[in-house]
Structure 1
């Protein structure tokens, strides 16, 4: 599970999941701890003449082993003590650092294999329980990551984004952006339920394959009947299937690129303006919102928030030149052009 574009810092370094098994990592830590103890044991045995046993006066190997273990793990009981300066210096500059390193190894191991797991599990469960009004992105490839970046540029907080992807490199990239992530297949009910799909503000599907994307849309629509779903479909033949599966918005990158190219033949600035509308960094942006109570009864041209282009009434689009746009009604969805900085997430979901 669950951050602005990084400067030249540690987030630009390569990160790779360790291939070392958990049991081998634990074994290495135990071996390192015993190696450090062995150094202290060897030093005490070599300089055993500097120790004094207050019980029987004789220092055996068992006494040295006992003294070493007690000294490394505690501060000692006083039954065996260093009496020479050399023995005391050895305890000061060798045994004491060994004690600290051994405790750090044990504490670090306990944290990583127990406390960290428990803490992360608890933290993720709290985040999941509180998920409301978030945007779910199924697939964090090129399209999904660009969609997330655009949402953040439009003002959505990274913590309000949940990314579903089975690929670890994509999950690491999404997590680095500040988004919540979950490793799984978005076509499965359990995964979509885990991200509280029914409580989401919008769903973006960019799985990379049309068949997978359509199946995700179909599953998501069944679990979240009222949540807007946007999907990327690469084949024109599959666009109708995606709509039948329940997608509200079907985007074909190739078709959109064709529109820009065709528009550019009618004037050098048409494609530039269309790209400007679609980009949060442009001078203007498109926004969709619900008509306000004060605007009911007024014509679309009279709205004060932006330049009204179209209204959607009962699912039917009406242009600004049509008679239906001459009088706004409650429940109308307005598509308008607004200056940069006034766009963002509409009442129906993210503006893409």
Structure 2
């Protein structure tokens, strides 16, 4: 029995929420805070102007007050205007110095939020895009989408080769924890598909939670990539045909599959258990699909199958192991076989 590794303690999750304020509004608020603080300091310096000495002409005008406030709030000053009373020096020490630090933090934070961070994020995205090839794009990270990603990783897929698109930041945070590349965007837009380099992808999985949205995503993906394998999940049986018409290569109805398991269990628990076993990467047996090798052309399905050959995919047709055509494989055939889940490395998508 395999010994489980102790789970590492994870840092507590932080609540995240997209700010309802635009970039311009956030900048305006920060600028307003700075102006209010400057106005307060200017007002105090003006009413206490007799507590300061101007080394140049000996008089403190309003312009001198503004000048002194700006210099002392942003630097340590030049020494041409100095506080001479104890109260003025205490005000500058206890109010102006903290205000100077506050200014620096706001300016540095603004620069990081709107300049440095954005530039960094764009650089990271360009770097990730260069490495995206033969990857898997998952549109929708709800219940079905997250289960699909977990199963792919269990089957041996590198999470760095899985790109998850969703508009829910909490869902994306979970996918990111698994090591996936995430993009918070609308998957029905062409620009989103270009960002995830859909043309270079190996396959696409769509599970948007709503059938109409999933079908629209499929239409968007199909017109960009006519030959891309697309698997789509629908909830209503009536939407299986529209999903195929939209270009889905495979249409999955979780409700129908659950019905198959329930019907199988009515004739014995072993049937439903075996079906679930085949569908899971952790089962004792699993389904494996592959394209035959050149040396396998001309041989029968039973001769080339690693495990138990059950089906041939040829030119859009399916051929059962009992049919006459299964006795002679042709170039380009893909076969489906049942293999032990523990005896071979996980299969890859593509």
TM-score, structure 1 normalization: 0.78
* In 1: Cα distance, 2:96 partner to 2:157 partner: 54
Q: Following the alignment from structure 1 to structure 2, what is the Cα–Cα distance between the partners of residues 80 and 64?
A: 9
User: Aligned to 2:186, which of 184, 195, 205?
Assistant: 184
Q: Distance in 1 between matches of 2:141 and 2:290?
A: 27
Q: Secondary structure at the match of 2:108?
A: helix
Task: Mark the CA change 1:264 to 1:6 in structure 2 (over 3 Å): closer, same or farther.
Answer: farther
**Alpha-carbon distance in structure 1 between the residues aligned to 2:57 and 2:245:** 90
- Deviation of 1:8 after TM superposition, in Å, equals 5.9
Q: Do the aligned partners of residues 284 and 81 (structure 1) sit closer, same or farther apart at CA in structure 2, a change above 3 Å counting? A: farther
Would you say the 8 A contact 1:164–1:183 is kept in 2? Answer: yes
**Deviation string, structure 1 residues 181-236 (Cα, Å, up to 9, x no partner):** 242252x5454344333222112222344444344434433321221111123333
Is the Cα–Cα contact under 8 Å of residues 16 and 169 in structure 2 kept in the other structure? no
Could you tell me how far apart the structure 2 residues matched to 1:214 and 1:22 are? 33
> What corresponds to 1:133 in structure 2?
134
Distance in 1 between the 2:163 and 2:134 partners? 11
Aligned position for 2:35: 34
- Cα deviation for residue 327 of structure 1 reads 4.9
Given that residues 286 and 335 in structure 1 are in contact (C-alpha distance below 8 angstroms), is that contact kept between their aligned partners in structure 2?
A: yes
Aligned to 1:144: 145
Residue of structure 1 equivalent to 2:55: 54
Matched residues, number = 341
Q: Whole-Å Cα distance in 2 between the matches of residues 76 and 91 of structure 1?
A: 11
Q: Describe the SS at the equivalent of 1:345.
A: coil
Residues 319 and 76 of structure 1, relative CA distance in 2, 3 Å threshold:
same
Larger RCO (alpha carbons 8 Å, 6+ apart): 1
* Structure 2 match to 1:350: none
The answer (yes or no) to whether the contact 1:175–1:181 under 8 Å persists in 2 is: no
Deviates further, 247-256 or 293-302: 293-302
Q: Distance in 1 between matches of 2:98 and 2:295?
A: 73
Residue 18 of structure 1 aligns to a residue in which SS? coil
Residue of structure 2 in register with 1:235 after alignment? 236
Cα–Cα, structure 1 residues 37 and 241, in superposed 2: closer, same or farther, change >3 Å?
Answer: closer
C-alpha distance in 2, partners of 1:250/1:274?
Answer: 18
Distance in 1 separating the partners of 2:49 and 2:101: 22
- Which residue does 2:261 correspond to in 1? 260
Question: Is the contact between residue 141 and residue 171 of structure 2 (CA under 8 Å) also seen in structure 1?
Answer: yes
Give the whole-Å Cα distance in 1 for the aligned partners of 2:203 and 2:34.
51
Match of 2:3 in 1: none
In 1, the alpha carbon distance for the partners of 2:209 and 2:8 equals 26
Asked whether the 8 Å contact 2:218–2:248 carries over to 1, the reply is yes
Change (3 A) 1:209 1:27: closer
Distance (Å, rounded) in 1 between the aligned partners of 2:301 and 2:118: 55
Give unmatched runs, 5+ long, in structure 2.
Answer: 1-6
Aligned to 2:345: 342
Q: How far, CA to CA, are the matches of 2:328 and 2:273 in structure 1? A: 32
Shift of 1:69: 1.2
How far apart, in 2, do the equivalents of 1:206 and 1:98 lie? 51
Aligned equivalents of 1:135 and 1:6: distance in 2?
Answer: 28
The CA distance in 2 between the partners of 1:338 and 1:329, in whole Å, is: 26
Aligned residue in 2 for 1:160: 161
Q: Which residue in 2 is equivalent to 1:269? A: 270
Aligned partners of 1:287 and 1:338 also within 8 Å: no
Shift of 1:290: 1.8
For 1:141 and 1:185, locate their aligned partners in 2 and report how far apart those are by CA, in whole Å: 14
What is the CA-CA distance between 1:279 and the residue it aligns to?
2.2
Equivalent-residue separation in structure 1 for 2:190 and 2:22 (angstroms): 30
Residue in 1 that maps onto 2:314: 313
TM, length-normalised to structure 2: 0.78
The answer to whether 1:76 aligns with 2:71 is no
* Structure-1 residue corresponding to 2:117: 116
Alignment RMSD (CA, Å): 3.6
Distance across 2 between alignment mates of 1:305 and 1:39: 81
Distance 1:126 1:78 in 2: 50
